[in-house]
Amino acid sequence: MIQLILSMVIFGTIGLVVRYIDLSSSERALLSSFIGFLFLTLIFFIMKKRISWSLVKSNAFFLLLSGIALGGNWFFLYQSYDHTTIANATLGYYFAPVFVMLLSPCVLKEKLSLKKTVCIIVAIMGLVLIVGEGVSASKKNDILGLSYGLIAAAFYAALMLLNKFIKDMEKLELTIIQLGTTSLLLIPYVFLTSGFGIFEVSISDIPFILILGIVNTGIGFWLFFSGMEKLKGQSIAMLSYVDPFVAILISAMILQEQMTFVQMLGGALLLASTFVSEIKSVKFSKRLMKTPAK
């Protein structure tokens, strides 16, 4: 349990770390995925495990799509952090379970229960309160940031659903392949859009880049998977909400970012609805356990 909680705390600090890296979102996504890939590959071989290339080959199509989804997830999440508060970005990002519930009937052929329907309605009400308050306060940048958070959530939902079609791969092995795929896909995009600016980072950026890649990505995923193996699906669903709690706490107490009462109410409705939908669906959460958290 401690390992899973620590991983959630680490994931909750991503927004803070990203704020101190003066690079574009695509460059930060490339560095975090590549450094995380190198770290987890090292851990994988220290544990004397080997990647099953036959499984990689048989799952190649969905691995490629999941790599695209993971890259899009990080790109838009980092964009969200740049345009709004960490709290708003996190709340937008935690709309991902709602997207999963909406798409499951079509993609996974699962019935949309009354309980899930109510949770979706409540989550949308919460999002409307958050967005509506931002509009009324004329905070256009916040609305843009929240929109990026929702796009990141859509990519993360796609990642969760795509992982359902990847067969027989261990969780750590799957994450290594996805991080490597994401890195390969982002390299040409970064050089075509940003040039070689990624090699001109300031010395002050380097410690935070290493923290993002090694701690937030590598160690975070490692602890997540290590802790997850010892817990039931329902416990994992409950403990996953340590992540947004830490992120919102950092937003309010460290960065002094303000939220109105209406936005806090909207956030509470959004998180509560997704929480209820997850803890009551143990079997469903177990099927998604092999999905990376960020």
CB hemisphere CA count around 270 (13 angstroms): 29
What would the two tokens of residue 264 be?
């806090």
How far apart, in Å, are the Cα atoms of 141 and each of 86, 257, 262? 13, 14, 18
DSSP H stretches of helix in 137-170: 140-163
70 within domain boundaries: yes
172 within domain boundaries: yes
38 within domain boundaries: yes
Asked if residue 292 lies in contact with residue 175, where contact means CB atoms within 8 angstroms, the answer is yes
- Please report, as a single letter, which amino acid is at residue 38: L
Asked if residue 289 lies in contact with residue 228, where contact means CB atoms within 8 angstroms, the answer is yes
CA 60/CA 233 separation, integer angstroms: 27
What pLDDT is stored for residue 140 in this prediction? 67
293 within domain boundaries: no
292 within domain boundaries: no
What pLDDT is stored for residue 114 in this prediction? 85
What pLDDT is stored for residue 195 in this prediction? 73
- Domain range for residue 235? 2-287
What pLDDT is stored for residue 42 in this prediction? 94
CA 78/CA 186 separation, integer angstroms: 14
What pLDDT is stored for residue 288 in this prediction? 46
294 within domain boundaries: no
Helix/strand/coil percent split, the chain, to 5? 80, 0, 20
Asked if residue 165 lies in contact with residue 107, where contact means CB atoms within 8 angstroms, the answer is no
69 within domain boundaries: yes
What pLDDT is stored for residue 1 in this prediction? 76
Q: What is the pTM of this model?
A: 0.86
State how many domains the chain has: 1
What pLDDT is stored for residue 136 in this prediction? 46
109 within domain boundaries: yes
> Which residues of the chain are under the pLDDT cut of 70?
133-140, 196, 230-234, 237, 279-294
